Amino acid sequence: MKALASFLVASAIRRYVLMVGMNLLPFSTLRIILLRLSGVRIGSGCYIGFNLSVDTNYPELISIGDNVTISHNCVIIAHTQSPVRSPLSSIYCDQKSVHIANGAWIAMNCILLPGSSVGENCFIGAGSIVTSQMPACFLCAGNPCKPIKQLFQ
């Protein structure tokens, strides 16, 4: 029980610091440092836009490669759980990693769900909801996100 309480307190602190920092820090470099401190794995040469929301309960399940662009107002979720006891909370209770490969570009207002991945040099169109694996070197968009056009070999 004590371990659960400390986990919840750590998650709450992480959530508050990320919420404030991701909106107020003026430079992408500072937002990247904040995300790394929270447990997200981020490569070099990345750009992180304002108001990126990442899973604060399982940030270690999120990995972002080198030279990745994530535009403003995106969400990366690595779990489906609820503290409320209900029939749904017993069905939807899992944690899955989210991976964004080198050179990927996530446009504004995208959502990446648990278990999703974005391939190398893949472009995810604005407002897309990524629910599965998107291939390398493709333009992908939609709800749910689907490959639309190969960009290059």
How large is the average pLDDT for residues 133-147? 98
Confidence tier at 16 by pLDDT (50, 70, 90):
confident
Query: Which residue in 15, 79, 96, 146 is the catalytic one?
Result: 79
Instruction: Go through 39-72 and write b for each residue having 16 or more CB atoms within 10 A of its CB, e for each that does not.
Output: bbebbeebebbebbbbbbbbbebbebbeebbbbe
**pTM for the predicted model, two decimal places:** 0.90
Look up 79 and say whether it is catalytic: yes
CATH fourth-level superfamily of 2-150: Hexapeptide repeat proteins (2.160.10.10)
Mean pLDDT calculated for residue range 131-139: 98
112: closest CA among 70, 151, 147, 82? Answer: 70
With cut-offs at 50, 70 and 90, classify the pLDDT of residue 123: very high
